[in-house]
Amino acid sequence: MSAMIGHQVGCTPANTLATRSVWPHAASERPTRPRLWLAAAGGNSASSSGEGEGPPLPPPPPPLTPVLSQRSVLISSSAQHSVGLTSTRASNGREADKWAAQYQLQSSGDVGNDSSSASSGNSSGSDSTDASSSGRREFLLPVMTLSKVKLPTESISLQIFEPRYRMLFKLVNKSTSRRFGVVLSDKSTGMMESVGALCEMTHFITVPERRRLFINARVVGRFSTRHVVSDKPFVAVQAIKHRDKQPAELTEQLLAAAQEQRVWETMQEIKELAAKLFVRGQKLGNDIFSLEARRWSPDAAARKGVPTAAGADPTLLALVQAAGLLGDEQTMAERTTEYVCSDALRRVSEDERRERFSFALARKLDLGQEELQQLMYSQDTSERLRVVEEHMTKGRAYLAARSTLRDMF
């Protein structure tokens, strides 16, 4: 049973990148996506004494689809393949120890939290790739590469057995912020995305006799990679917060609120049709929607009584205990460290609540990994809600057609 718990980190992921996109406009108008070129095993690494030494480096692979940007970087090389992003790989163990020590001292406020967004409804709206103009600090972040996209508001369960990732999470557990990154990657091309999920660890469980760790974490935001700091034993980056551009004008704010309300009304219509088709007309409540959709919904009544996201999904703990990996209750208490997610204690602005609502709904749509990654890159809440509304409108039409046919026959 233990082999089925969480994501099995260390397995070879399948190529999950799709070529279709949820954006209806032309490919030239889609958001560009810089991707990072991961170094192949066997070391085309840069020499610590300077550029140009060591074996020649292969050229970066071409983009997989028209929506991808030409910007890429080879993590273990000099900047000769870089356009817009640079590599600053730690050249020796002392440098790695230096960035690790610096990372451990960062607080959650330093790693991806924007204190101004909690007290103000609007932000400057500047591009997240320009740290100086937006006033946001860069921060160090250890990164795990996965074959699946993780979205904000999501709970993540991980089973860690690969030595480098056990080392990563032991470092995270000792840090002040307990934050790390999760990024979509494709091992067949050696590429990883430059925008990923910013996570905060809430449960740390050790099973030393099986050389495994079990981790629960919550995705509390997004990050954008500025520089690669190290690639061994795991990837570490210098990053900034990646967030939506908030509407500056009152008209834009009103339009965004109206669009969100339309989405919520469509959800109510789908709920009524589902009640008519599947529960013989019995009234359904908002509890048929996911906890995160209710927690960040525009309806104050739907939000009432929904618990805060202080903890993580307890499913992992139940499965680990059922598998007999933790022994008796005393052993489980000794091996489990539980934290309160700091993001649950932070006051969220109306604009950020709307952004989280859009991601909570997008998680429930039947979208491919490429489409979900496009939503991660998007910095427009209204665009994301429009994508959600289009899918929901189709679902409502399908249910309405089924209802009409049932009434006719």
Domain with 240 in it: what CATH number? 2.30.130.40
Structural domain includes residue 303: no
- Report the phi/psi class of residue 52: left, alpha or beta, with left for phi > 0 and alpha for psi in -120 to 50: left
Domain ranges, residue 333:
2-12+34-244+308-346
Assess if residue 67 is contained within a domain.
yes
10-32 per-residue burial string, b: 16 or more CB within 10 A, e: under 16:
eeebeebbeeebbbeeeeeebee
The answer to whether the bond into 142 is cis (omega within 30° of 0) is no
Parallel/antiparallel/unpaired status of strands 212-230 and 195-207:
antiparallel
Task: Report residue 141: phi and psi, to 5°.
Answer: -150, 120
The strand pairing partners of 136, in sequence order, are none
CA 313 vs. chain centroid, Å, equals 16
pTM across the whole model = 0.73
Whether 299 is covered by a domain: the verdict is no
User: Which of helix, strand or coil describes residue 3?
Assistant: helix
Would residue 278 count as lying in a domain?
no
Task: Please report where in the chains the tokens 């004494």 appear, as a residue.
Answer: 49
- Residue 329: the pLDDT is 57
Give residue 398's pLDDT band: very low, low, confident or very high (50, 70, 90). very high
Average pLDDT over residues 9-21: 35
Distance set, CA 258 to CA 47, 71, 148, 251, 385 (Å): 56, 37, 32, 11, 11
* Cα 391 from Cα 297, distance rounded (Å): 18
* pLDDT for res 95: 59
Q: Is residue 264 part of a domain?
A: no
Does residue 261 sit within a domain?
no
**The predicted structure's pLDDT at residue 309:** 56
If one counts the domains in the chain, the total is 1
Report the DSSP pairing between strands 235-241 and 139-146: antiparallel
Least confident among 78-87, 120-129, 195-204, 324-333 = 78-87
**Phi-psi region for residue 313, left (φ > 0), alpha (ψ -120 to 50) or beta?**
beta
Amino acid of residue 167: M
Distance CA 330, CA 301 (A): 41
pLDDT tens digit sequence for 212-255: 898 989 999 999 999 888 888 889 999 999 999 988 889 999 99
Question: Which two tokens mark 48?
Answer: 């610590």
Rounded Cα distance between 124 and 248, Å, is 8
Does residue 53 carry a pLDDT above 60?
no
pLDDT at 241: 93
Pair 231, 39: CB distance under 8 Å: yes
pLDDT at 321: 64
Residue 66 lies in a domain: yes
Give residue 246's pLDDT: 87
If one counts every other C-beta atom within 10 angstroms of the C-beta of residue 140, the result is: 24
User: Which tokens hold the place of 372?
Assistant: 């979900």
Q: Is the pLDDT at 198 greater than 90, yes or no?
A: yes
User: What mean pLDDT do residues 322-336 have?
Assistant: 65
